[in-house]
């Protein structure tokens, strides 16, 4: 499905960008990874939803004790 009409990229390309580049966490990073920039911004919500879905799927595959979750808990405790 086409996610961005202005730059003409699909949900598959957004998912591939997330998989191929570690640390893609925002729509802006997805645009940069795909070599473009936001035009009208209507696709930002859809990109965010895809990012959340990819992250939720990858977190479901984590072991019982998630290292990322425990790191954020330790960082909050240190503050």
Q: What is the pLDDT along the chain (79 residues), one digit of tens a residue?
A: 999 999 999 999 999 988 876 678 899 999 999 999 999 999 999 999 999 998 887 666 555 555 544 444 444 444 4
Q: Quick one: pLDDT at residue 28?
A: 92
Q: Quick one: pLDDT at residue 60?
A: 60
Mutual orientation of helices 11-20 and 44-60 as an angle, nearest 10°? 50
Total domain count, the chain: 1
Angle of CA points 41, 24, 38, to nearest 5°: 20
- In the three-class reduction of DSSP (H, G, I as helix; E, B as strand; rest coil), residue 25 is classed as coil
Q: Quick one: pLDDT at residue 23?
A: 74
Query: Which backbone phi and psi does 2 adopt, to 5 degrees?
Result: -75, 125
Which residues constitute the domain of residue 46? 2-78
């Amino acid at each position: 499905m086409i996610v961005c009409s202005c730059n003409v990229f699909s949900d598959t390309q957004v998912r591939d960008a997330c998989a191929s580049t570690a640390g893609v966490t925002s729509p802006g990073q997805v645009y940069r990874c795909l070599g473009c920039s936001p035009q009208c911004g209507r696709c930002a919500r859809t990109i965010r939803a895809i990012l959340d879905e990819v992250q939720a799927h990858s977190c479901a595959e984590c072991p019982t004790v998630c290292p990322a979750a425990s790191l954020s808990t330790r960082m909050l405790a240190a503050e």
